A and B are shown apart, each in its own frame.
Chain A
Amino acid sequence: MSDAHAAAHATPPELRHHFVDLEAQKEASSLGMWMFLVTEVLFFGGMFTAYVVYRASYRRAFEGASNLLDIRLGAFNTAVLILSSLTMVLAVWAASQGKKKLIVLFLLLTMLLGATFLGVKVVEYKQKFDHHEVPGAHFVVPKGLAPQSELFFSLYFCMTGLHALHMIIGIGLLAWLAAKARRGAFTPRYYTPVDMVGLYWHFVDIVWIFLFPLLYLLGRNTL
Chain B
Amino acid sequence: MNTSTAPASQRVHYLNASYGVKSWLLTTDHKRIAILYLIGVTVFFAIGGVAAALIRLELLTPAGDVLQAETYNKMFTTHGVMMIFFFMIPGIPGVLGNFLIPLMIGAKDVAFPRLNLLSWYLFMIGGLTALWAVVHGGVDTGWTFYTPYSTVYSNGWVVVTAVGIFISGFSSILTGLNFVVTIHTMRAPGMTWMRMPLFCWGMYATAIIQILGTPVIAITLLLVAAERLFHLGIFDPAQGGDPVLFQHLFWFYSHPAVYLMILPAMAIISELVTAFARKPIFGYKFIAGSSVAIAVLSFLVWGHHMFVSGQSVYAGLVFSFLSFMVAIPSAIKVFNWTATLYKGSVSYQTPLLYALGFIGLFTFGGLTGLMLASLGLDIHVHDTYFIVAHFHYIMVGGTIMAYLGGLHYWWPKISGKLYPEYWSRVSAWVIFIGFNLTFFPQFIVGYLGMPRRYHAYPDEFQVLNVMSTAGASILGIGYVIPLVYFFYSWRYGKDAADNPWGATGLEWETPSPPPTENFPETPVVTGRPYDYRTDEEEKAVV
Contacts and interface: CB of A to CB of B under 8 A. Distances in A.
Direct contact of A and B (CB under 8 A): yes
A135 B230 contact: yes
A125 to B, nearest CB: 13
Contacts of A43: 215-216, 218-219
Interface in A1-47: 1-2, 5, 16-19, 24, 27-28, 31-32, 35-36, 38-47
B239 A150 contact: yes
Given A31-B185, A158-B234, A18 B113 contact: yes
A172 interface: no
Interface in B45-66: none
A137 B212 contact: no
Contacts of A35: 177, 180-181, 211
Contacts of A45: 215-216, 219
A32 B177 contact: yes
A32 B242 contact: no
Given A135-B233, A148-B240, A5 B517 contact: yes
Interface in B210-225: 211-216, 218-220, 222-223
A27 B242 CA distance: 43
Contact of B177 (A2, A36, A150): A36
A31 B212 contact: no
Interface string B262-293: 00000000000000000000000000000000
B173 A39 contact: yes
A17 B211 contact: no
Interface string A119-153: 00000000000000001110000000001101100
A93 interface: no
Nearest to B248: A49
A162 B215 CA distance: 13
B249 interface: yes
A136 B184 CA distance: 48
B243 to A, nearest CB: 12
A53 interface: yes
Interface in A42-74: 42-47, 49-50, 53-54, 57-58, 61
A18 B223 CA distance: 40
Interface string B399-417: 0000000000000000000
Contact of A28 (B111, B231, B242, B248): B111
Contacts of A148: 239-240
Contacts of B375: none
* Range of interface residues on B (Cβ < 8 Å): 35 or more
B83 to A, nearest CB: 24
Contacts of B181: 28, 31-32, 35
A45 B173 CA distance: 16
A96 B137 CA distance: 53
Interface string A148-181: 1011001101100010000000000000000000
A137 B181 CA distance: 47
Nearest to A161: B226
B485 interface: no
- B108, B111, B220 — most chain A CB neighbours (10 Å): B111
Contact of B212 (A1, A42, A49): A42
B467 interface: no
B198 interface: no
B109 interface: yes
Contacts of A24: 185
- A19, A27, A43 — most chain B CB neighbours (10 Å): A43
Nearest to B214: A39
B177 A155 contact: no
A114 to B, nearest CB: 23
B336 interface: no
B213 to A, nearest CB: 8
B258 to A, nearest CB: 18
Contact of B230 (A18, A27, A32, A136): A136
A38 B185 contact: no
B28 interface: yes
Contacts of B113: 1, 16, 18
A119 B173 CA distance: 32
B516 interface: yes
A16 B232 CA distance: 46
A158 B216 contact: no
A46 B215 contact: yes
B241 interface: yes
Contact of B232 (A32, A36, A58, A135): A135
Nearest to B242: A53
B479 interface: no
* 9 A-B pairs closest in CB distance: A46-B219, A148-B240, A43-B215, A18-B108, A154-B232, A42-B215, A18-B109, A136-B231, A39-B215
24 contacts: A1-B113, A2-B517, A5-B517, A16-B113, A17-B517, A18-B186, A24-B185, A27-B185, A32-B111, A32-B115, A32-B178, A35-B181, A38-B211, A38-B212, A42-B215, A45-B219, A47-B223, A49-B249, A54-B240, A135-B239, A150-B233, A154-B233, A155-B234, A158-B234
Given A16-B113, A28-B185, A46-B220, 15 more contacts: A2-B17, A2-B516, A18-B111, A28-B111, A28-B184, A35-B180, A36-B177, A39-B177, A47-B219, A57-B242, A136-B231, A136-B232, A150-B233, A151-B233, A151-B239
Interface of B: 17, 28, 107-109, 111-113, 115, 173, 177-178, 180-181, 184-186, 211-216, 218-220, 222-223, 226, 230-234, 239-242, 245, 248-249, 252, 516-517
